[in-house]
A and B are shown apart, each in its own frame.
Chain A
Amino acid sequence: MSEIVEELPTYPMSRGRCPFDPPPELDRLQDTEPLSRVKLWDGSTPWMVTRYDHSRQLLADPRISSDPRNDGFPFSNAAQSQNRGQFKAFIVRDDPEHAAQRRLVTADFMIKRVEAMRPRIQEITDGLIDDILAGPKPVDLVETLALPLPSLVICELLGVPYADRSLFHRLGKTLLRRDNTPEQSRAASEELRAYLRDLVNRLDAEPDDALLSRLIVQQLRTGQMGIEDIVDMALLLLIAGHETTANMIALGTVALLEHPDQLAGLRDTDDPKVVANAVEELLRYLTIVHNGRRRVALDDIEIGGQLIRKGDGVIVATEIANRDAEAFPDPDKLDIHRVARHHVAFGYGVHQCLGQPLARVELQVVYSTLYRRIPTLALAVPLDEVPFKHDMAIYGVHALPVTW
């Protein structure tokens, strides 16, 4: 058995020459062994799921758990493993606990509410682009647009002071490192939780109309949630609410600049449906959550001629599922006009991204505004000097020097 384990591919894998394509090894597994085993940092050997249909089937299966307290859970690193159980938000819980907690905040992210925010999102975007055009060039698009836009939006939605952004940007980055140590992770988590605990106490004394205050009034004051539960929820919404979209804005821009015909198609349209379609295709093509969706089987599951046993770890690599030719013909081609809405970039099953309507509107606004207002936008460095986020759980770029 040990010889067999030695031969298994290790996960995560390195990307190949194209920075937008998933690792070639995942592509090979999808073609040859769509349900196979991989080796993790700790020597464990969870299942690797690479096909689109298998991915959807397993992520929607109630016998598959997202709770890292279950034996066999495939941890990303020692930090995730050692600090298991400390973080208690719905992303790491199963139903019915997951549903009960998630339903407290679903209304805030529903289509109608988010559409009502569109004018404000447009206003923020235009203001940031005004500042870019008024300033020197080249400029880092991550610092000036990709990160500030979703940060401002999630701060306003939650009721977190935007002035504190350097603190939660720094700590969020540490928590999302693929190689952080248990100590680094714990320290960052504790610092962020202390900040949020203090914020919750301040809002409890003087609530506003935003989401956190409503949770405090409706859940904390009535004793239905404790302060630590509110802090965990705030931490999840704050970090997930800006890190993901920020990376989609910056990485999407790199991808479009490298595909000028696709960029032109987006720049030259007035049709919001074309823009919305382009956003879905960029979500599919880039699939920035590139650390696998981590799960563990709670029961024996037969799938694709294999038997996943109770207690087996399962990693669903949605970045390669979104490149499955069975679901997306000519999958490695970026085509903003293709049908792509069935992608699994936001995951699938009951854990599918809560903030997806908000992410969609933010991306639609940015992609339909930036390239029209700065039509000559261009990379200020060669592509191979752009620092891609191979070291982070969410893919993107650390910085994006652009000029015009």
Chain B
Amino acid sequence: MKVVLDQDRCIGSGQCVLSSPEVFDQRDDDGIAVLLAEQPPADAEEGAREAARICPALAITVAE
């Protein structure tokens, strides 16, 4: 799996951090999401998929 995050679209809702804290974090100065693992470990894949599904700004895509 490969995760792509578009920081320009991000609105800092933090939904990805709640779904998948192994894969996403938020920048301290503006709350914009950062990608911790472009290729998540197997046990974090479902969380990454959920993050992509619920991101309100459509800023996350997942390629299987």
Contacts and interface: CB of A to CB of B under 8 A. Distances in A.
Nearest to B18: A111
A341 B16 CA distance: 11
B56 A349 contact: yes
B31 A99 contact: no
B56 A60 contact: yes
Contacts, number: 65
B56 A106 contact: no
B11 A110 contact: no
Interface in B19-40: 19, 26-32
A341 B50 contact: yes
Contact of B30 (A60, A103, A356, A357): A103
B59 to A, nearest CB: 10
B57 interface: yes
A92 to B, nearest CB: 16
A112 B50 CA distance: 20
Contact of A347 (B17, B19, B32, B56): B56
A102 interface: yes
A332 to B, nearest CB: 22
| Size class of the contact patch on chain B | 20 to 34
A111 B28 CA distance: 10
B56 A348 contact: yes
Given A60-B56, A341-B19, A341-B54, A350 B11 contact: yes
A14 interface: no
A350 B14 contact: no
A108 B26 CA distance: 11
B31 A110 contact: yes
Contacts of B2: none
A80 B2 CA distance: 46
Nearest to B11: A350
Given A99-B11, A341-B50, A109 B56 contact: no
Contacts of A341: 18-19, 50, 54
With most chain B CB atoms within 10 A of its CB, the pick from A60, A106, A107, A354 is A106
A342 interface: yes
Given A103-B30, A341-B19, A341-B50, A110 B12 contact: yes
A60 B9 CA distance: 11
Contacts of B29: 107
Nearest to B8: A99
A60 B11 contact: no
A107 B28 contact: yes
B58 interface: yes
A66 to B, nearest CB: 13
A349 B59 CA distance: 10
A352 interface: yes
Contact of B31 (A59, A109, A342, A349): A109
**For B12, B15, B28, B54, which residue has the most chain A Cβ atoms within 10 angstroms?**
B12
B23 to A, nearest CB: 14
Interface of B: 9, 11-15, 17-19, 26-32, 50, 53-54, 56-58
- Nearest first, the 8 closest Cβ-Cβ pairs linking A and B are A106-B12, A106-B31, A110-B31, A352-B56, A111-B14, A107-B31, A110-B26, A111-B17
